[in-house]
Structure 1
Amino acid sequence: MRQVRELIKSKIIRLSVSDKGEEFVVIPRQLDVDITEKHLEDASLHRASTEKEFRSQNRKLNSEWVKTASAAGLKPADISHLKIEVPTCPVLYLLIKTHKLIRADDLTSTDHSTFKVRPIISCVDGPTDRIAWFINLILNQLLRHIPAHLTSTQMFLDRLRNARPKIAYVIESFDVTALYTNVSNDSAMQTIRELHEQHEGAINMYGFSIQQLMVLLKVCLNCSIFRWSGKYYAQIRGLAMGQRLAPTLAVAFMSKVEAPVIDLTPLLYCRYIDDCIVFLFSNREVFKQHTFTSIKTQYNTTLADVSAVSPSSEPLFRDFQ
């Protein structure tokens, strides 16, 4: 272990967990740099930024927070506590998707294109960290009003037990391709607004109006600057995994995207963020035509078909068998 620590300290290797968290990944530092640089070349997702822009975004966020929270009646001490005057710039790191390495020689490859990754932007002590935590106190209350949303394996097992699927049903499982970066922020915010309007009386708003909440949500999402290897970048599309608001907004966005599935009135439809399973009468071609095509057309969001199996087989859903 001492030798490993020395190699990490001298920046010869990088040690991390895998995307699924089931293995350790030891990778040459230069290969890690090559993979990250390739990821950052996607001009549809990132652009170059500066420390000056980062500081400017933070000042704008804090100004809007103080103004809006004061108008909502929050105590000055709470307003001050949730505002970070000197934030840490969020940092990008990548997790290797080891389950995507198919061939035996993939493990020893030095070609950066071999590796699929999950980008994480660590926002701990970042500009939005505390304010986003507070906003989530409100937004998380909405999730219980999304019927398909799962919060645990036990919830899925309970729903499966209550549904009592029969042999005649077709089981489909699928996920959403790159959900976080494909979420339209405007669509996610619109979904949040609609959910609030539908369940206004059941949500503790902590003194905020829906409009005030939307203002804060927007300014938080606009704080999208991060750093890697001493350089500043801005994410210009989708949600940043690692930002506190991202999972809640992704779940809310999916509640709108999955409407074509609900239209088929399945026996059971459940989803954990972007992993979905459905029991229905329709054959898979009817299902794919009605849902996959409709969702791609309306939301520019792609569903990846994970499995199409008979009830006697084992669908892949959150590694559940």
Structure 2
Amino acid sequence: MTAARRWPVHPPPEPGEALTSWLQRIASRYGADIDDLVSDMGFRPEVAGDMDTCPPDGFACGLAERTGMDVARIRKMSLSGWSPCLIDTTGPTPDGYGVYNQQFSVLLGAGRRRVREIPTWLPWRSTRPALRACPQCITEAQPPYPYQLLWLLPLTLSCPFHECLLETRETAVTYFADWEHKPPVPKPASPAVLKMDARTWQAMATGFADLQGRRIHAETWFRLLRTIIDELEATISECTTAARMIKGIWKAAGYPSRVGPLSWQPHESYPVDIQIRALQTTATAIHLIERGSLTGRGPDARFFLPLEP
């Protein structure tokens, strides 16, 4: 292949597929690997490892020329392509944590949470990358198996198509041979989790999410979710008189108390099992507010209440 030559045969990307997943499937068609494709396009092979976060400038345009796919669709296959919807900027900023997480207040009163500066932080980008996958999606696909961008982020718990929980991968991202021989038994997701995740998938697919008779922009939805997580993981001193309520939400989700290291960390820095528990508890909090069993102390709990006639 030469730098100007279009790749004549390639599998189309799946809806919501991560960029590295698609590149892996293209490379497999040619009997190559991702480094070969990246080098063929004139980029250094070492950048291939971060394609799902922030591909180098010009990569999406070059890939569009080679494949005939729309460049905007290719950009949406990486986290950076979701700025400013899912993330504010493509790179971290010193005040990014506060700007993203303290725009809204749902469970705790406005101004209760500490202002934190985390210079390296990006929303939904785990510092301990892990892949969770839908066992049903993998069973129904052909190797090399495509995987979703959302499966790489600590943002969802379930598959909206099969209504089962995502399973954490213990081996390399693209290696599913163990599932071919002994796939995990799909576990049904709770109604609260399915409802929360359906809104996230709707936001990713359409740019909007439907809540209690109102339609909100995807930017608002993602920041509301991250706000609730931040409130659930707030320190006791930040919760003050709401501490009992926060503990009650964790208990309603099936946990005796907030589960995590003693020292505070952002959601993205916790191990995947703690991220999963936080998301389950977030779904529980939303469910309790929407059915009237819990009154959020923040002004933005109104998003989860029915519209007044």
- Structure 1 or 2: larger strand share? 1
For normalisation by structure 1, the TM-score amounts to 0.28
The structure whose Rg is larger is 1
For normalisation by structure 2, the TM-score amounts to 0.29
